[in-house]
Amino acid sequence: MRAKHFFTSENITLFKQQLLIWSQQFDDVVWLDSNNHKQAHSHYDAVLAVDAFTSIKTDYFDAFNQLKEYQATTKDWLFGYLTYDLKNNIEPLKSENFDGLEFPDLYFFQPKKIFFFKGKEVALCYLNMVDYEFESDLHTIKNVSQENNTSEANSVKIKLRIHKDAYIEKIQAMLHHIHRGDMYEANFCQEFYAEATEINPLETYSKLNAISNAPFATFLKSGDKFLLSASPERYLKKDGGLVISQPIKGTAKRSLDKDEDQALKAELRSNVKERSENIMIVDLVRNDLSKTAIKGSVKVDELCGIYTFDQVHQMISTVRSQVEPTVNPIDIIKTTFPMGSMTGAPKISAMKIIEALEETKRGLYSGTVGYFSPEGNFDFNVVIRSILYNQSKKYVSYSVGSAITAKSDPLKEYEECLVKAKAMRDVLEG
């Protein structure tokens, strides 16, 4: 079904840049880049999938069953996304907040052309029907000029969907729910946006990626809709019988002063509130994974590990399980979705309260982008630290959130959101 060719590049950074420019001719593009972070569970340094042969695009109703049927029928590589609002397919929930972006709830495509990066080697996997194009494509890519692919700095005027005083009131309302026992943790998110705005999606992604250098970076194009993501977080990966989830909970800012930066890192490691946030979500993830796991196979490989990225320090845990070969890969996703790090606990109660207090439909923010292999393996990120763009509507958006627990200080939660938003704001405002 697919022909495979191998290409070695001595300047892989340049080839990546040329490949991304070349990819812009297609309506369907997914670029996943580890930025050379040596993730313990990653197979590839980067992947590009372009040009849909078949695709599925749907709202939340019966979405997981439709995806299951599509995945079983194609038995091929599939790339795409699931939005946060697929929660409404899993539980009796709703998403009625304002939506300026209007992304479909679920979208996957079977690409004609895929490029897998590992070190200096690139594997080109083309559907047989287009395999004759691979040599001419390679020639074109290697001769792409970058001269006319730089643009002026963005000067986007960012607006707040929730202003500071209203944010603090909403956090106090969440704390009331927590103290009353309705939930014990929830991720509350706020949107920053701009209307009547045009950006160059690839150029904006490149600037965001240069600032953040994140391990689950993503450029996604679906017609007139774009995701430009500097995500540090893996949602879920399946490799044979092994399933891995790596929730992030706990954030500290960086400092240019080396000693202060180490002190900030040490403070995060010992922070009782941040650790309790992380441990609560680890418990939720363990419970979610147990729904499809072989009994007794759910383990915590690492609890509250501290990892440093260009913009922030993060607290990350790793949870794994084993599944039988008969378990459908879509069921593993459905029983863990949306990811606990973006909802809270108990999950359903938290999602209901989130919906009542937030002002914006989350859509692809808090969702996930990734791929399925022909064997039913998969790897998906968490869509955070991301700019979303509807080119036709000229609407640009990014959202940030933080975990609210009984120990939360509303002002400190607001400040944490601004730390997380800094890279996106810098890129957009120029």
Strands (E) in 327-394, as ranges, are 344-345, 368-372, 378-381, 386-390
- Known active-site residue 416: no
DSSP letters for 59-116: -STTHHHHHHHHHHHH-S-EEEEE-GGGHHHHSS----SB-SS---SEEEEEEEEEEE
CA separation, residue 278 to residues 189, 237, 404 (Å): 17, 19, 12
Catalytic residue among 185, 191, 233, 413: 233
The single-letter DSSP state of residue 128 is G
Query: Which residue in this structure is represented by tokens 């290409």?
Result: 7
Catalytic residue among 170, 238, 249, 352: 249
Q: Which among 233, 234, 225 has a CA at the least distance from the CA of 387?
A: 225
Most distant pair of Cα atoms in the chain: their distance: 65
- Known active-site residue 249: yes
Query: Which residue in this structure is represented by tokens 């938003």?
Result: 421
Residues 113, 61 contacting (CB under 8 angstroms):
no
Q: Which among 320, 326, 287, 291 has a CA at the least distance from the CA of 303?
A: 320
- Which residues have C-beta within 8 Å of that of residue 313, sequence separation ≥ 6? 251, 252, 253, 254, 264, 265, 268, 306, 307
Torsion of CA 363, 111, 199, 358, to 10 degrees: 10
Residues 114, 144 contacting (CB under 8 angstroms):
no
What are the residue numbers of the active site?
Answer: 233, 249
